[in-house]
Amino acid sequence: MSTSNSLLQEQQIISDQEILIAFNDASKKEKAFTWLLHRDQKKIYWFIRRMVIDHDDANDLVQEVFIKVWKSLAGFRGESKITTWLYRIASNLTITFLEQKKKKFSHIELSEGDDLKEKLYSGTYCDGNKIQMKLQEAILTLPNTQRLIFQLRYYDELKYEEISEITGTTVGGLKANYHIAAKKVEAFIKETD
């Protein structure tokens, strides 16, 4: 009976409060972290995957995110939602990863955008839907920060206030960045049709 209740509770959405209380109890720490993984890992994976395109890179970054979370969750102050905090960690790690990759490509003619575009078309990222592929290609032309903001708003459907907490940017600045990014995406699609 207790096993089925435990499974049922894991399948339900666990609140931040429940996770934090359990995490701070040494006997429930691993269970709380498992709840967090079940609840948030998939959305963090897809956020990162849309930024880096490559599955293996995304998996590595997701691991880094949750290692940081494991080490820091006990000190989480609760000033934001855990999910917002996860996105902030994922954003920082992903932008750092992309910037390091850009430096790596600065010595050769192939740019980071070309590398990501090549991975987009050679991998199993999309199901081959021509419109979806064109949209992804357009998004790859955006600077990393605009791409990050576009992804959080368009795909993850976060409110500007949440994105502001994640990025440390003002809501007005985010709206402007998103608007510029959307116009660039639209222009790219029109130009390449």
For residue 164, being part of any structural domain is answered with: yes
Which has more pLDDT, 103 or 8? Answer: 103
* pLDDT at residue 4 in the model: 45
How many domains would you assign to the chain? Answer: 2
Mean confidence (pLDDT) of the chain: 86
- Residue 42 confidence (pLDDT): 96
Residue 48, amino acid = I
Residue 119 lies in a domain: no
Q: What is the pTM for the complete model shown?
A: 0.82
Based on the domain organization, do 139 and 191 belong to the same domain?
yes
- According to the model, what pLDDT value does residue 8 have? 43
Average pLDDT of span 83-102: 94
Q: What local confidence, expressed as pLDDT, does residue 116 receive?
A: 61
pLDDT at 103: 80
Q: How confident is the model at residue 28 (pLDDT cuts 50, 70, 90)?
A: very high
Please give the C-alpha separations between residue 77 and each of 33, 81, 82, in angstroms, as whole numbers.
Answer: 16, 10, 10
Q: What is the average pLDDT across 157-176? A: 96
Inter-axis angle of helices 130-140 and 112-122, nearest 10? 160
183: domain CATH number?
1.10.10.10
Give the pLDDT score at 124: 54
pLDDT at residue 63 in the model? 98
114 occurs within a structural domain = no
Query: Could you report the per-residue pLDDT of 38-75, keeping only the tens digit for each?
Result: 999 999 999 999 999 999 999 999 999 999 999 999 99
Q: Is 74:32 a contact under the CB 8 Å cutoff?
A: no
Residues of the domain holding 55: 1-108
